[in-house]
Chains A and B, each alone.
Chain A
Amino acid sequence: MVTKRTKRPGLALGILAALLLAAIILSFLLGRYPVPPKELVGILLQRIFPAIRPFWADTMETVVFNIRVPRILLACLVGCCLSAAGASYQGVFQNPMAAPDILGATSGAAFGAALAILLGAGSRLITLSAFVFSLLTVVLVYLISKVARGKRVLTLVLAGIMVASLFNAGVSYIKLVADPSDQLPAITYWLMGSLSGATKKDVAFVCAPMAIGLLPLFALRWRMNVLTLGDDEAHSIGVNAGRIRLIVMLCSTLVTAASVSVTGMIGWVGLVIPHLTRKLVGNDYRYLMPGSMLFGALFLLAVDDVSRNLLAVEIPIGILTAFIGAPFFLWLITRKGDTF
């Protein structure tokens, strides 16, 4: 079989970046409260040139800065992080099915959030609790895999599955005992995942952990290529596979925890987007990592636009990512002329 390797990864990255920019601009214009392009340009430019005299309503400026900006930023950041974490896990576990929840990060976050809601905490505390439990879960998984016998990668993944199911059971129990009039719907809504409550404070909260996590993931992308070969081969090439994997796991966990703590459970992005990006730019992480980051941001932003504009009632984005992601993925793997 002859396959062509005429992929132009640099060009694909450029197109993704351009599309993302276009989507960001479009996202400012879309919404229940209309903001016409002329006013949008004025509002944004006024921040740089205060001399511009406002020709728009105050409400419009509030909508742009307090609602649209945080929401767009958060959608891009979360999409970028989940996708980068998924691509990273796939590489360091040599497992194409790996996703950001492979080590239990999302189940831990769900438990933390549900527990906080049950105890009557406010939104800031719910976010914090989700974040902390997410990190704790992964630490627990790592420690279990340390004492478990057998292949390191396999024990990590198995421990991840088991601990995740434990926390899922915990979430189920909390839902059982939660007050069905207000707590249960709040938990259910959180679990579905949504960007609708995005605030400036949310963005501020996640910025630092996301930056701390994303930078090493980006910088280590060549090493991730080598790690896909397996530990023995990586070691003989001169890479300390265990150490690099640990760093990548830490960073991926950090960005996943930060993402789900503010948005709730958003599935599919971390699994589907890296694979779509592989189709576009190949498996070389030098292109795959930036590609996944851009594509993840673009995808989640676009889906969020649909979620807040399609129907009169906002559709939780977690549902939409699966609705759009799953069929698209199925189409992709059944398409002729391609192999995984």
Chain B
Amino acid sequence: MAHHEKGGHVLSIETSDLSFSYGTQAVLKHITFTARDGELLSVLGPNGVGKSTLFRCILGLLRGYTGRISVGGKDIRSLSASQMARLVAYIPQSHYPSFNFSVYNMVLMGTTGQFSALSGPGPKQKAQAAAALEKMGLAHLAEKDYTHISGGEQQLVLIARALVQNAQVLVLDEPTANLDYGNQLLVMRQIRALTADGYAVIQSTHNPEQAFLFSDHILAMKDGAVLADGAPSEIVTSDRMRALYGADIDVCSLYDDRLRVCVPKGIIQGK
């Protein structure tokens, strides 16, 4: 295998000098980063900074980029949809689907890459779907309608669907957006547990505190470029957060620096 060992981790997904433009407008500028197996990488940055474009490139949905993206050492540029699905699984934000399916069928759809276009899932795929539901603690919801479960449960269903793809890399688009606090914790706990199983997990988030608490590694993006890339303790600092969000932010450390909180200084001091 073309896996490279580095610091005891396999380099699961790697971009080097990745750039992308819509017409003349450069959206991604020379992005280079690495996400390793067993690691949670959080991508932080203001709205419109290019996080979605970066994810679309990584997922093989956008092909017109320059530079290189590799998964497990393999260049993904010319891979087909079904080849990509076996390497990288995508977990979108939970949304209201056009047509309602049962939770079980929703998860079963993740197995689609395993069989030909003219057939459907067989016993093997059905067993995989049932196992993924079990793993996410959703077995009791299997026959429920996807639209009739909570937002947190929907997000877990989409994660279960990604797991049956048997991909090494999981890409999550703001997994806790639109969730209440309890569901945010539920979903983040499960995502954290996935890294323990060896998955490389990449998520985008607008919550620096959550990124600090759960991530192994943070990529801070601004204006389509990497502002900073490193351990959470290096990124979630007052200087970096001010530079990233352009606001007067103080980062306070709590519980022996196991937690950091962003304080909007300007607002608190009434300025």
Contacts and interface: CB of A to CB of B under 8 A. Distances in A.
A236 B86 contact: no
A237 B163 CA distance: 11
Contact of A283 (B61, B84, B86, B101): B101
A238 B112 contact: yes
Interface string A243-287: 010000000000000000000000000000000001000111010
B100 interface: yes
A283 B165 CA distance: 22
A219 B117 CA distance: 8
Given A5-B145, A237-B85, A283 B121 contact: no
A244 B90 contact: no
Given A222-B120, A222-B121, A237-B110, A282 B81 contact: no
A340 to B, nearest CB: 9
A222 B119 CA distance: 7
Contacts of A286: 120
Interface string B60-91: 11000000000000000000111011101110
A235 interface: yes
A1 B81 contact: no
Nearest to B148: A3
A220 B116 CA distance: 10
Given A5-B145, A244-B117, A283-B99, A225 B85 contact: no
Nearest to B145: A3
A96 B99 contact: yes
Contacts of B191: none
Contacts of B165: 237-238
B34 interface: no
Nearest to A240: B81
A273 to B, nearest CB: 16
B156 interface: no
B91 to A, nearest CB: 9
B144 interface: yes
Contacts of A96: 98-99
A113 interface: no
Nearest to A235: B81
Contacts of B119: 219, 222
B61 A232 contact: yes
A241 B56 CA distance: 15
B112 A237 contact: yes
A188 interface: no
Contacts of A283: 99-101
A102 B109 CA distance: 27
Contact-residue bracket for chain A: 35 or more
A231 to B, nearest CB: 8
A238 B81 contact: yes
Range class of the B interface residue count = 35 or more
B101 A220 contact: no
B126 to A, nearest CB: 12
A229 B109 contact: yes
B163 to A, nearest CB: 12
A228 B100 CA distance: 9
A236 B121 contact: no
A5 B102 contact: yes
A254 B60 CA distance: 32
A27 interface: no
Given A220-B117, A233-B90, A235-B61, A240 B80 contact: yes
Interface string B92-111: 10000111111001000110
Nearest to B82: A238
A68 interface: no
Contact of A236 (B59, B98, B148): B59
B113 interface: yes
A219 to B, nearest CB: 4
Contacts of B89: 236
Interface of A: 1-3, 5, 90-91, 94-96, 216, 219-223, 225-226, 228-230, 232-233, 235-241, 244, 278, 282-284, 286
Given A232-B61, A232-B90, A238-B84, 5 more contacts: A235-B84, A237-B110, A237-B165, A239-B82, A283-B100
29 contacts: A2-B148, A3-B148, A5-B102, A5-B145, A94-B99, A95-B98, A96-B99, A219-B117, A220-B117, A220-B118, A223-B112, A225-B101, A225-B109, A226-B112, A228-B99, A232-B56, A232-B59, A236-B88, A236-B89, A237-B110, A237-B165, A238-B84, A238-B86, A238-B165, A239-B112, A239-B117, A244-B117, A278-B99, A283-B101
